[in-house]
Amino acid sequence: MVDTTVELCGLKLDNPVIPASGTFGFGYEFAELYDINILGSFSFKGTTKEPRFGNPTPRIAECTRGLINSVGLQNPGIDKVISEELPKLKKCFDKKVIANISGFSVDEYVYCCKKIDAEEQVGIIEVNISCPNVHNGGMSFGTDTKSAYEVTKAVKAVTTKPVFVKLSPNVTDIAAIAAACEEGGADGISLINTLLGMRIDLKTKRPVIANKMGGFSGEAIFPVALRMVYQVYEAVKIPVIGMGGVLTADDVIEMMLAGASAVQVGAANLINPYACRDIINNLPQVMKKYNISRLTDIIGMAH
């Protein structure tokens, strides 16, 4: 028997496989396809203070071994997530979920995190700092160590649950950003969010996406994500959730060797809605193949 259990800041997971925010909705659509209680947990759709319709269409562009999206954080807003989405989710998922929170100012992050912290269903708050800071010329919170520190510290002051800060890869020094979040009180780090990419339609000679550029995700970004997880693991003492291009159980093992305590699966869910189920089913077999009896033993082993 192999042991697939892992732990994140006291939250025990049956396995390290977690669907990433924005690729799994609020879970109940996938619950019609399979029992989502086999998941370690899942990170629900990025939530903001006010409802957001999102960016203009087209929002999606396909590319080799990946895709580009510019959805624009479409969501019903924090109040409806709490009053409508979480009760629906409770009917099909009996584990703790990860609440992904976004904002365009420190006050917005604080407001949403304080509200979601009171929800019994939430085990971890994942703070997405890839959003543009409207009070700082639109620069993303996650591209500046000072901004990353400030939003982390402010959120930690109003929450009781573990806070994982989700980092943007579109920076010069990912380790420095992670260290600033740790200094601000973060309990863990999630990385990476999408890279910045674009496609141009050869017929119209114009960008495919209405917003011109979007987040590049999928299998093609795995080596970049793995490198950044490896770097951040060496820079901080808090746990890391790795993500970016994860497609198979082998990828999960590789991410954990780089330093991830758990692994999120994103774009793969959009290609194959059974992706997470299949990874979980294949994980014990892959562990045996590489003579791994307990997943916790291999976290950071590549260092």
Q: How far is CA 296 from CA 8, 18, 127, 227, 254, in A?
A: 11, 16, 25, 20, 13
Long-range contact pairs involving 206-210 (C-beta distance under 8 Å, separation at least 24): 208/58, 208/61, 208/68, 209/58, 209/59, 209/60, 209/61, 209/68, 209/70, 210/55, 210/56, 210/57, 210/58, 210/59, 210/70
Tell me whether residue 57 is exposed, middle or buried, using C-beta atoms within 10 angstroms of its C-beta: 0 to 12, 13 to 18, 19 or more. exposed
The two three-digit tokens of residue 203, written as one number: 């017929």
263, 252 contact by CB (below 8 A):
yes
CA-based nearest residue to 245, from 272, 215, 276, 224: 224
Catalytic residue among 9, 92, 112, 131: 131
Helix, strand, coil % over all residues of the chain, rounded to 5? 35, 20, 45
Active site residue 92: no
Distance CA 282, CA 263 (A): 15
Residues 6+ apart with CB under 8 A from 118: none
What residues act catalytically? Answer: 131
